[in-house]
Amino acid sequence: MNTRWDIAIIGGGPAGLMAGARAAARGRRTLLIEKNRAPGAKILISGGGRCNLTHACDARGIIEQLGPQGKFLHSALAALGPNEVVEFFRAEGVPTYVETDTGKVFPQSDRSADVLAALLRKLEFADCELAASEPLIELDREGDPVENGFRLTTSKRILHAEKVLLATGGKSYPDCGTTGDGYRFAEKLGHRIIPPRPALVPISTHIEAIRALQGITLKDVLIGVLEAQVSNLSPTVGQVSNLSCPKLNPKRQVGNLSYARCLGSRRGALLFTHFGVSGPAVMDLSRIVAGHPNPSALVLECDLLPERKVKSLETSIALECASGGKKAASTLLDPWLPHRVGELVLETAAVPPDRRLAELSKVDRCRILHGIKQFTVPISGTLGFRHAEVTAGGVALGEVDSRTMQSKKVQNLYFSGELLDLDGPIGGYNLQIAFSTGFFAGECM
């Protein structure tokens, strides 16, 4: 049994598989070590089993979506950008299509198993050896790492490699084996770890009235995360004159809490669940909630009808009341919102549902408008790593050379994928990060 390798790759996720295939194709004796019985567990469940491979944009579009961290990806995306990912899988017999309303790229079969099979074929063709059911226990330097490389202690044997790539993933979906092992190896070798936190994860609330809306989806909502400061002031109900929709007003007053700062906003679908809220916009904002020292000091403020200007909606509500006559107030918002959501807006506006439309005062209508444009969801937290699609935080980017994916602190040690302090929004960006950084590491090792 061979115990000496040019390259050892730790982790058989999308980054590790891509790296293994590329490194072995370059003629490097490459071993991929995977703790699970089979690689690619997270690939199989990604995108609800459909596997959102990438996004229909160019490299610049990927970088822009990642904010300040995005510049780290310039070299990796130059080596394997979104178009190259699509071509890679097409060449392996997995054609793709673009979901027109989201820009997400999926395999035509809508089967994540086809994506994994393509990567495994590429791995086998390149003659990369796969060691499954063999978790890494310890990773140590052997004297001068330039000459002697690394000593790897697995559950079955002791191995030696000139170069090592850590592609162990983060802590999201721990049932898939991503339990944060790579952080321990990296930290032991002198790397700083930005505290990991769940990202792309549903948000929970303790408000039963909101949880009772379970199963209802609103297709277009503008959502902001607002930070609260304790205040003794009374709530100002029905003050809509300061609204500037669709932008969020940075200061609100709800109960004894004054929301003084908007930490971020997204627009997209909102899904009410038995624990709180989910959907693409919520998931994208969840990294803010998970990273806050006191999530219960935050609220989601939602504009339930962001396409409607305040004045226009105010006029429409007034006309509906004028023409409604004896109709109950509970029917007022039916033209625009699901009935149960409309009922909750009325409840928060302190408008009795059985009051006649013709009897609603201007103050009532202002409160209702306020409830639509500033619908508040108090936050109790997130559903944690167990339900998170990706991990924020990880190996500090400043300690990794983005031109090679090699550690700046330990020669011949490389990083790729979710283990890095690098994550993006929903829409295929995170798999693109994994594919690009894995491929580029395999190219540079």
H/E stretch holding 52 reads none
Strand partners, 153: 138, 158
Q: What is the dihedral of CA 153, 154, 156, 157, to 10 degrees?
A: -30
Of 378, 384, 385, residue with least CA distance to 254:
378
Buried/exposed 92-107: b ≥16 CB within 10 Å, e otherwise: bebebeeeeebebbbb
Look at residue 146 in the predicted model and tell me its pLDDT: 52
Of 433, 339, 389, 405, residue with least CA distance to 45:
389
Buried/exposed 2-26: b ≥16 CB within 10 Å, e otherwise: eeebbbbbbbbbbbbbbbbbbbbbe
Task: Specify the amino acid at residue 254.
Answer: V
Look at residue 326 in the predicted model and tell me its pLDDT: 86
Look at residue 236 in the predicted model and tell me its pLDDT: 34
Look at residue 191 in the predicted model and tell me its pLDDT: 98
Look at residue 252 in the predicted model and tell me its pLDDT: 54
Task: Specify the amino acid at residue 64.
Answer: E
Of 380, 384, 415, residue with least CA distance to 399:
415
Tens-digit pLDDT profile for residues 418-434: 999 999 999 999 999 99
Q: How far apart are the C-alpha atoms of 348 and 377, rounded to whole Å?
A: 11
Query: Which domains, and CATH codes, for the chain?
Result: 4-197+391-444 (3.50.50.60), 203-382 (no CATH)
Q: How far apart are the C-alpha atoms of 182 and 197, rounded to whole Å?
A: 15
Q: How far apart are the C-alpha atoms of 337 and 44, rounded to whole Å?
A: 36
Look at residue 324 in the predicted model and tell me its pLDDT: 83
Residue-wise pLDDT tens for the chain (445 aa)? Answer: 778 999 999 999 999 999 999 999 999 999 999 999 999 999 999 999 999 999 999 999 999 999 999 999 999 999 999 999 999 999 999 999 999 999 999 999 999 999 999 999 999 999 999 999 999 999 999 876 556 699 999 999 999 999 999 999 999 999 999 999 999 999 999 999 999 999 999 999 999 999 999 999 999 999 999 987 654 333 333 333 333 333 334 445 544 455 568 899 999 999 999 999 999 999 999 999 999 999 999 999 999 999 999 999 999 999 999 998 789 999 999 999 999 999 999 999 999 999 999 999 999 999 999 999 999 999 999 999 999 999 999 999 999 999 999 999 999 999 999 999 999 999 999 999 999 999 999 999 9
Look at residue 229 in the predicted model and tell me its pLDDT: 64
Q: How far apart are the C-alpha atoms of 387 and 402, rounded to whole Å?
A: 30
